[in-house]
Structure 1
Amino acid sequence: MVKGINKRVIVVKAPDPRLFEQAIFIMREDAFAEGVSAEQVLEEAQKAAKSYVRGNTRVGRWIRFLPAPAWAAAGALVATAAWSLALFF
Structure 2
Amino acid sequence: MVQGVSRQVIVVKSPDPRFFEQAIFIVKADAFGKGATADAVLQEARRAAEGYLKRTSRLRETCRRIPAPVYAACGALGATVCWLLAFLL
TM-score using structure 1 length: 0.60
- One-letter code of the match for 1:43? Q
Q: Which range moved further: 10-19 or 21-30?
A: 10-19
Q: 1:35 matched to which residue of 2? A: 35
* RMSD of equivalent CA atoms: 2.0
| 1:11 to 1:32, Cα distance in 2 relative to 1, 3 A | same
Q: 1:13 matched to which residue of 2? A: 13
Q: Distance in 2 between matches of 1:30 and 1:39?
A: 16
TM-score using structure 2 length: 0.60
> Which structure's relative contact order is higher, taking Cα pairs within 8 Å and 6+ residues apart?
2
SS in 2 for 1:33: helix
SS in 1 for 2:30: coil
Q: Which runs of 5+ in 1 are unaligned?
A: 63-89
- One-letter code of the match for 2:55? G
Q: Which runs of 5+ in 2 are unaligned?
A: 63-89
Bigger Rg over Cα: 2
Q: Distance in 1 between matches of 2:2 and 2:48?
A: 20
- One-letter code of the match for 2:18? R
Percent identity reads: 52
| 1:52 to 1:3, Cα distance in 2 relative to 1, 3 A | farther
